[in-house]
Amino acid sequence: MTENQDQPDPVWDAQAITAQLGREPRGVWRVAARCSGDWPAVVETDPRLPDGTPFPTLYYLTCRRLNAALSTLEAEGVMAQMQSRLADDSDLQDQYKRAHDQYIAAREQLGDVPEIHGFSAGGMPERVKCLHALVAHSLGVGPGVNPFGDEALELVSARGLWPHPEPCVTVETEVEND
């Protein structure tokens, strides 16, 4: 496998995502953020799959190590703390609502899918239900948009878990490279 490529290679990306997820990426997709060794970290998917199924998850986290680090945060009760702060902070409510609106607007740039109008991800705009979805949004669009995605990334960064120095998937033979 070639790492640190100068140019993204869609075939290599598809192989890398398949190794990360254990299945091929669905629909029409592109890499929205990367982790170590230029592995994909977030995949952006068009909102309707080729078979017609609506696909609301614009940003999906593929990095196994970041997925695991966020699952740990969730198990520690971080989402309940975020949820209770959201209930008491109108500025945070406004930011989170803007993140929700931005998510939907970005998705609508890729296609109008009436079945998922008004629906974003991760519990937005009123609930904190999935750090993986919120962090995927933060990585996909950059800092300053999703307050809880940014915060979760800061927490895993403070633990030295993001960006992660190790290969994203350790068993390189999981990716066929010819």
Interacting residues with Zn ion (CB under 5 A): 35, 63, 65, 168
Is the CB of 124 or the CB of 168 nearer to Zn ion? 168
Is the CB of 48 or the CB of 65 nearer to Zn ion? 65
CB of 117 to Zn ion, least distance (A): 32
- Rounded to whole angstroms, the Cα distance separating 91 from 12 reads 42
Contacts of 58 (CB under 8 A, 6+ apart): 44, 45, 47, 103, 106, 107, 110, 121, 137, 140
- Rounded to whole angstroms, the Cα distance separating 158 from 143 reads 16
Is the CB of 17 or the CB of 104 nearer to Zn ion? 17
Residue 25 is given by DSSP the state P
| Residues 37 and 168: beta-carbon distance below 8 Å | yes
Is the CB of 135 or the CB of 168 nearer to Zn ion? 168
Q: Can you say how many angstroms the Cα of residue 101 is from the centroid of all Cα atoms in its chain? A: 17
CB of 41 to Zn ion, least distance (A): 6
CB of 34 to Zn ion, least distance (A): 8
CB of 162 to Zn ion, least distance (A): 9
